[in-house]
Structure 1
Amino acid sequence: MTNLDLFIVDAFTDTPFGGNPAGVVLLDSPRDDAWMQSVAAELRHSETAFVGPADGEGVRPLRWFTPVAEVDLCGHATLATAHALGVDSVFQTRSGRLTCSIRDGGWIEMDFPADPAELVEPSPDILDGVGDASVVAVGRGVSDVLVQVSSADEVRALQPDLAALARVPVRGVIVTAAADGSPDIVSRCFYPNVGVPEDPVTGSAHCTLASWWAPRLGQAELYAEQASPRGGSLRITLRNDRVTLAGQAVTVVHGTLTG
């Protein structure tokens, strides 16, 4: 039986018990998928990250699991992992190589692939899922569907039909609108298909949000708010086919995982 370092980190916040909590497990050797899935189910965070030792080039393997499935990309758990490690890091993942850089003030910058969404017609399940919100446009990214509605107030007041959203054949549904002043954009993200009804703050969704809003608002750098009950914020910058996501994080638990 091996004892492993375990962290619970609140990501995209500078305040404990805000933002999006993630588990981070520092592996000393490879573990099988079933074991990692069991740990993620035990911790019950929207994602738990499993990071291995660095190779000769300083690159660490990184994987993410929800309580019920492995996912291809997770921003907040990557931020949490970089925060737990406390150093600039390069990770090899199912979405390619990701770089995290520690900046002043506890900010961490992550270099992620952009995920532009192509305009599609809204399906009945999408329309039912967002209820009374006024749909302006719908886009389909690699992982998620983005639904633009008419106002930030509609995003904040949204009472989604999660059963309808679960019928949309994607990882999740992002509901978003432009905001006046600060923040520049507001969003909420729903992932019932992977066991996460509403994600508190979703880094990977902002790869789609940056690609959607930067050309529409005429600015590459955006201040974004995810208006879940816990809430969180991040700075996003679109650079051609890459997105820089910058956020802060707070460790709330550091302990030992026995298993």
Structure 2
Amino acid sequence: MELKLYQIDAFTNEIFKGNPACVVPLKEWLPDETLFNITKENAVAETAFFVINGDKVHLRWFTPEIEMDLCGHATLAAAHVIYSMMDFDKQEIVFTTLSGELTVTVEDGMYALNFPSRKPVPAVLPELIAHALNIQPSAVLKSRDFVLIYENEHQVRDITIDRQVFDQINLDPGGVVVTAPGSSADFVSRYFTPQSTILEDPVTGSAHCSLIPYRKEQLNKNHMIAIQLSERTGTLYCSDLGERVIIRGNARTYAIGTIVTV
């Protein structure tokens, strides 16, 4: 069996920036063990697999360790493959996922992801996470992920993680996002996942399901620009719709290949 394989850089206009995701279209679902093996072989943070079924697309996201409940950059990458490289002529992609139906449209040359809002609530930071951080947050919130609030962009840039301590905590399927008001954007963030092959995720669309409603209240703005301050960096154009959020971004195709054995 041969499968097409696409590697897409998401939330960026530049190759080698943003967050790389692999995308594998399927005619029918393969065993989960095979999907995990493909994901591990791809050696990126997420691989998206999808099966087109009539007017809808069944989409799943895998890290080398777990199946995710929601992934922004791999959804954007899958939409880029469907719109750019497949015979798809509809105005809107409807993905069926573990997080319900997610829609993607093309707006002003960007992909617009319609995702659920996950407003975070005040929480207590686990001691292991606190001990792993070199800078302590001014506030702690939680939805799927822990959302740690910092005073300024410099603090977010300067955060380091003691991985030996950090990996002692299990947050599957979540992680830790650190955020602050931005100097060159409305807000900035970074994202860390304990016990993951890749500690720092370059650009995390799903974390913005929590960051957008929080920042909307803090900034009193419905439309915001966000930058994720990883080494690769990425830009997200965000809108708050109440129970939903819109996350817009660009994508670039890095590689197209064939998986020849599964």
Check whether TM > 0.5.
yes
Structure 2 vs 1, CA of residues 238 and 163 (structure 1 numbering), >3 Å: closer, same or farther?
Answer: farther
Number of residue equivalences: 252
Q: CA deviation at 1:252?
A: 0.6
Higher deviation after alignment, 198-207 or 121-130: 121-130
Cα offsets for 1:216-247 (capped at 9, x unmatched): 11111110000000111111111111010000
Unmatched 5+ stretches in structure 1 = none
Alpha carbon RMSD of aligned pairs, Å? Answer: 1.3
Offset at 1:121?
2.3
Q: Distance in 2 between matches of 1:67 and 1:122?
A: 27
Change in Cα spacing, 1:220 to 1:164, as seen in structure 2 (3 Å) is: farther
Match of 1:256 in 2: 258
Q: TM-score, normalised by structure 2?
A: 0.92
> Aligned to 2:195, what secondary structure does the other structure show?
helix
CA contact (8 A) 2:168 2:194 kept: no
Assess if the C-alpha contact under 8 Å between 1:134 and 1:150 holds in 2.
no
**Equivalent in the alignment of 1:84:** 81
Structure 1 residue 172: Cα displacement: 0.5
Runs of 4+ more than 4 Å apart: none
Q: Structure 2 vs 1, CA of residues 150 and 172 (structure 1 numbering), >3 Å: closer, same or farther? A: same
Q: Partner of 1:147 in structure 2?
A: 148
What TM-score, normalized to structure 1?
A: 0.93
Does residue 1:96 correspond to 2:81, yes or no? Answer: no
Q: Which runs of 5+ in 2 are unaligned?
A: none
**Is the 2:133–2:159 contact (alpha carbons within 8 Å) kept by the matching residues of 1?**
yes
Could you say which residue in structure 2 is the equivalent of 1:198? 200
Structure 2 residue aligned with 1:185: 187
**Are 2:137 and 1:138 aligned?**
no
Partner of 1:162: 163
Of all paired residues, the percent bearing the same amino acid is: 37
Task: Describe the SS at the equivalent of 1:53.
Answer: strand
Report deviation, 1:4: 1.6
Residues 27-176 of structure 1 aligned to structure 2 (within 5 Å):
27-55=26-54, 58-86=55-83, 87=88, 88-105=92-109, 107-131=110-134, 133-141=135-143, 143-170=144-171, 171-176=174-179
